[in-house]
Amino acid sequence: MADVALVRPAVRQSRLLAAFRRGGTRLWVGAAVAAVLVLVAVLAPVLAPHDPLEQDLMSAQLPPFWMTGGETTNPLGTDSLGRCVLSRLIYAARTAVIVALVAATLAALIGVALGLFAGSFGGWVDQAISRLIDVWMAFPPVLLSIVLAAVIGAGLTSVIVAIVVVDWTRFARVVRAETMVQLTRDYAAAARVIGLSRAQLLRLEILPNLVPLLVTLLAVEMGIAILVEVILSFVGISVSGDTPTWGSMIAEGRQIVYQAPWIMALPIACIITSVIGLNLLGDGLRLALDPVQRE
């Protein structure tokens, strides 16, 4: 019995390593970027060298430490109000992570539920949900998000609601199509023969086979949620003005781009790195979890 207990963790560990090997470099790089982003958001009070709201007008627009006139006390320079750019980037990661996790998860839950209903029931249920998806996707997503956030009011909750209301259609459409394909497979027919109900078939057979696809969509949606939050904060209808966000930093840096280009360039670099990392993570997880790739 003791030998069996020791073998099981070793088997699980070998399977985990095999999954990471199947994911390849994309999985490792994406996981590293996502882990760094989460850790920076969680440990922001520890990592930030200064209070992100602390102003020092005598030290306004200091360049990064590697440029002439830079100081090590503000490694990435200061903005037009003398606030530490590094501290603001770190605290802005908190907003990005919260929006990415919460908005993407809620959009996935709503979209997956509606997609499963439409794909499995068919008939008028499928027609109704499909028409709703078509009508919803006819609106420009960014414009609809801006309108919704403006109507609801500024704040983190309104940003999350706007993203969820707009982006659930992406999950619903893909899950509906894939559910219809999976229901035509032999294993689904066999499940019906042994007496599984529709709910059991969806929960035990269809949904597990959709996991690689859903993981990829979820990671991509997290990147999209970060971009939408950046756009909303850039136009000033995201969180309150005192809360650091990458979008608000870009909006401020745009006005003084020739005098202090680092104020705009650094948050743009953070956004690009985060979105590419999340896309690589999703793609790597799809390869790692895809049953076809398993040996």
Q: What is the per-residue pLDDT for 273?
A: 93
pLDDT in tens, 136-175: 888 777 777 777 777 777 778 888 888 888 888 889 888 8
Q: Is pLDDT larger for residue 197 or for residue 177?
A: 177
Say if CB 90 and CB 47 are below 8 A apart.
yes
Lowest mean pLDDT among 13-17, 95-99, 215-219, 234-238: 13-17
Q: What is the per-residue pLDDT for 5?
A: 45
Using the predicted structure, report yes or no on whether residue 84 has a pLDDT greater than 80.
Answer: yes
Using the predicted structure, report yes or no on whether residue 228 has a pLDDT greater than 70.
Answer: yes
| Ordered domains of the chain (ranges, CATH) | 30-47+95-293 (1.10.3720.10)
Q: 189-210 b/e with 16+ CB inside 10 Å = b?
A: eebeeeebeeeebbeebbbebb
Place of tokens 């414009």: 143
Say if CB 178 and CB 119 are below 8 A apart.
yes
Q: What is the per-residue pLDDT for 258?
A: 84
Q: What is the per-residue pLDDT for 3?
A: 46
pLDDT in tens, 28-75: 888 899 999 999 999 989 988 888 888 888 888 888 888 877 788 888
Mean pLDDT of 107-130: 87
251: its two tokens:
């909006």
pLDDT band at 256 (very low <50, low <70, confident <90, very high): confident
Percent of the chain with pLDDT over 90: 15
Mean pLDDT of 73-86: 86
Summary mean pLDDT of the chain: 82
Query: Most confidently modeled of 6-10, 90-94, 191-195?
Result: 90-94
Using the predicted structure, report yes or no on whether residue 15 has a pLDDT greater than 60.
Answer: no
Q: What is the per-residue pLDDT for 22?
A: 61
Q: What is the pTM of this model?
A: 0.84
Q: What is the per-residue pLDDT for 290?
A: 65
> What's 102's DSSP letter?
H
Say if CB 39 and CB 93 are below 8 A apart.
no
Percent of the chain with pLDDT over 70: 89
Lowest mean pLDDT among 177-191, 238-252, 279-293: 279-293
Q: What is the per-residue pLDDT for 11?
A: 46
Alpha carbon distance 295, 107 (integer Å): 33
Helix, strand, coil shares, percent, the chain, to 5: 75, 0, 20
| CA torsion through residues 275, 99, 35, 83, sign | positive
Using the predicted structure, report yes or no on whether residue 87 has a pLDDT greater than 70.
Answer: yes
Alpha carbon distance 238, 250 (integer Å): 14
